[in-house]
């Protein structure tokens, strides 16, 4: 499910009811605010936060309804967006690094919130940012917590400091304290301390977390919270703030969030910013939290900036320039197509990327039915081709396509469809590269795709308008010679005579192929 799925649907529906109204009455505003209040409460947003939020929205919306603005409904959408940004924390706050390495980051939270996996995600993100993080296994309480952190660290490309086996054995405070000296000696610039949690808040857990904090004096204490716990988020956050205190919040499991109340409550109630969000199970499903971008996602206004950042991280600029040149010179091959598909996959989930586009909620059914494995199938088909076949798809006759289908575990129909999609994509992109207007099959020019204004209309050339290549060539030849065009004798789908089985004969196909090859 999309991030804030149900809440987003309810809010966008409430605001959609305002469209088409020239002016808003007080009743319109009250009705909309009432729907927003109901949507927030059903999302398990804290009651005090709901009251404060809807009060501000109502006050500002009533002022907007009195203005002479051309579209007061859009003003209300803007007001709701700005207030959402406010309760999500306002401006983005980045990690604060120590002037003298290592920077110490301590993770705290309840058991099951996803701290250990989050430690791996944070470590991988820091590696991409050019840091050398060290993961510290200070959760010696939960069974196999140390082993899990070692596995996650290996996947993230980060080393793990785990001198104790865990499973109830060892002193977590001493492990955390010793890790700082170890990191300094081995020149790690960031230390991430994974601490123990409990199924509920208790004095023993708080004391251990407080002792670890005192021992390592962290630069950041991140409170990791499960986005699905709803109203409990506020009570848990307050308990940790009183017992340990924290400098920032990390939201986990946002991809499965049908309510989103935790995100809309914690920052407002505790006054601590949300720094990161975990949006999936993969270690790459992790991103810095931008209040303005998240508010736009909730209201289905899109998140183009995050989409661009992901694209910049996955696509090589030099490679993109080479591909553009190949499009323009008509030398784009299936090998290039394969590379583009692989880079697209490196960006992450296509569903999530499409979900960042404005208005994506209207494509919910199509997104839910989209199969992410289609890219893997495409790769399998192309990789089953020879080098010559990838460079020149015209070599793909029936026997070659059958061999490719068997080699990739697909059908001949799948191979045919891939080749057809490749040819259409190459043709469209070649048109764009040359400054033309791309044309979708059967749909005409794409709207808004022209560049530099309208071109002067060229005088139409006299000639046949037939959509049949053979018939068109025959009619044009007849016009040139002054003789009437010969009538088609067979009436098949191609305008050619029919063979014994109702299909064009081999001679006719050869003639057509020769004609099209000119």
pLDDT in tens, 339-364: 777 776 666 565 566 555 555 555 55
- Give me the phi and psi of 201, to 5 degrees please: -70, 125
243 annotated ligand-binding residue: no
pLDDT score, position 489: 39
284 annotated ligand-binding residue: no
The closest alpha carbon to 250, from 231, 227, 270, belongs to 227
Query: Is it the case that residue 504 has pLDDT exceeding 60?
Result: no
pTM of the model: 0.62
Q: Where are the beta strands (DSSP E) in 43-144?
A: 103-108, 133-137
Q: Select, from the ranges 125-134, 202-211, 288-297, 477-486, the one with the highest average predicted confidence (pLDDT).
A: 125-134
112 annotated ligand-binding residue: yes
Q: Select, from the ranges 51-55, 202-206, 489-493, the one with the highest average predicted confidence (pLDDT).
A: 51-55
491 annotated ligand-binding residue: no
Query: Is it the case that residue 395 has pLDDT exceeding 70?
Result: yes
Q: Give the rounded percent of residues in the chain with a pLDDT score beyond 90.
A: 26
pLDDT in tens, 452-487: 333 444 444 455 555 555 555 556 655 554 444 443
The CATH code for residues 311-439 is 1.10.260.30
Q: Mean pLDDT for the chain?
A: 76
For the domain 103-301, what is the CATH superfamily, name and number?
Answer: P-loop containing nucleotide triphosphate hydrolases (3.40.50.300)
pLDDT score, position 370: 60
Sort 31 into a burial class: Cβ within 10 Å, 0-12 / 13-18 / 19+.
Answer: middle
What are all long-range contacts of 325-332, with beta carbons under 8 Å and residues at least 24 apart?
A: 327/426, 327/429, 327/430, 327/432, 327/433, 328/430, 328/433, 328/434, 330/430, 332/426, 332/429, 332/430
Q: Select, from the ranges 66-70, 269-273, 493-497, the one with the highest average predicted confidence (pLDDT).
A: 269-273
248 annotated ligand-binding residue: no
197 annotated ligand-binding residue: yes
Q: Could you give the CA distance from residue 474 to residue 484 in angstroms, rounded to a whole number?
A: 10
Q: Where are the domains of the chain?
A: 5-87, 103-301, 311-439
* Architecture of the domain delimited by 5-87: Up-down Bundle (1.20)
Structure-block tokens of residue 250 = 């990390």
pLDDT score, position 17: 74
195 annotated ligand-binding residue: yes
254 annotated ligand-binding residue: yes
- The DSSP output letter for 142 is S
CA-CA-CA-CA torsion sign (392, 394, 397, 403): positive
307 annotated ligand-binding residue: no
Residue identified by tokens 């996650």 is 152
Residues 6+ away with beta carbon under 8 Å from 312: none
> Band of the pLDDT at 378, cuts 50, 70, 90?
confident
pLDDT score, position 175: 95
Q: How many other C-beta atoms lie within 10 A of the C-beta of residue 33? A: 21
Lowest mean pLDDT among 179-188, 329-338, 387-396, 428-437: 428-437
Q: Could you give the CA distance from residue 277 to residue 266 in angstroms, rounded to a whole number?
A: 13
Quick check: helix, strand or coil at residue 69? coil
> 103-301 with 311-439: one CATH topology?
no
pLDDT in tens, 38-53: 888 887 788 888 899 9
């Amino acid at each position: 499910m999309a991030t804030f799925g149900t809440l987003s649907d309810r809010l966008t529906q409430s605001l959609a009811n305002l469209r088409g109204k020239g002016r808003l009455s007080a009743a319109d505003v009250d009705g909309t605010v009432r729907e927003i209040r109901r949507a927030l409460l059903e999302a398990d947003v804290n009651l005090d936060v709901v009251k404060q939020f809807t009060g501000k929205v109502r006050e500002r919306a009533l002022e907007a309804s009195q203005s002479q603005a051309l579209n007061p409904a859009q003003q209300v959408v803007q007001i709701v967006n700005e207030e959402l940004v406010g309760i999500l924390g306002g401006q983005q706050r980045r990690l604060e690094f120590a002037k003298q390495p290592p920077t110490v980051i301590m993770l705290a939270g309840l058991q099951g919130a996803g701290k250990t996996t989050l430690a791996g995600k944070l470590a991988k993100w820091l590696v991409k940012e050019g840091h050398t993080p060290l993961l510290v296994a200070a959760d010696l309480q939960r069974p196999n917590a140390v082993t899990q952190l070692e596995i996650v660290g290996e996947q993230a490309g980060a080393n793990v400091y785990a001198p104790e086996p865990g499973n109830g054995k060892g002193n977590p405070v001493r492990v955390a304290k010793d890790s700082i000296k170890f990191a300094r000696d081995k020149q790690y610039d960031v230390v991430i301390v994974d601490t123990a949690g409990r199924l509920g808040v208790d004095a023993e857990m708080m004391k251990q977390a407080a002792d670890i904090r005192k021992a390592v004096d962290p630069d950041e204490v991140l409170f990791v919270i499960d986005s699905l716990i709803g109203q409990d988020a506020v009570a848990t956050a307050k308990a940790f703030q009183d017992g340990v205190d924290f400098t920032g919040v990390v939201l986990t499991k946002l991809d499965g969030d049908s309510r989103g109340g935790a995100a809309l409550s914690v920052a407002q109630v505790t006054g601590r910013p949300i720094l990161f969000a975990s949006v999936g199970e993969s270690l790459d499903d992790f991103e810095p939290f931008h209040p303005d971008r998240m508010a736009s996602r909730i209201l289905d206004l899109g998140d183009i900036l995050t989409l661009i950042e992901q694209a910049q991280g996955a696509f090589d600029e030099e490679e993109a320039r080479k591909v553009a040149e190949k499009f323009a010179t008509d030398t784009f091959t299936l090998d290039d197509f394969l590379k583009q598909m692989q880079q697209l996959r490196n960006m992450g989930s296509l569903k999530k990327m499409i979900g960042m586009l404005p208005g994506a909620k209207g494509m919910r059914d199509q997104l839910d039915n989209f199969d992410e494995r289609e890219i893997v199938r495409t790769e399998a088909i192309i990789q089953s081709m020879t080098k010559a076949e990838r460079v020149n798809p015209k070599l793909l006759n029936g026997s070659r396509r059958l061999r490719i289908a068997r080699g990739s575990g697909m059908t001949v129909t799948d191979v045919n469809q891939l080749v057809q999609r490749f040819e259409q994509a190459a043709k469209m992109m070649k048109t764009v590269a040359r400054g033309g207007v791309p044309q979708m099959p059967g749909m005409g020019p794409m709207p808004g795709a022209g560049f530099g204004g309208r071109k002067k209309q060229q005088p139409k050339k006299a000639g046949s308008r037939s959509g049949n290549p053979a018939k068109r060539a025959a009619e044009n030849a007849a016009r040139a010679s002054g003789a009437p065009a010969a009538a088609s004798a067979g009436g098949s789908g191609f305008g050619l005579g029919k063979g014994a089985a109702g299909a064009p004969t081999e001679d006719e196909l050869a003639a057509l192929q020769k004609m099209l090859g000119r």
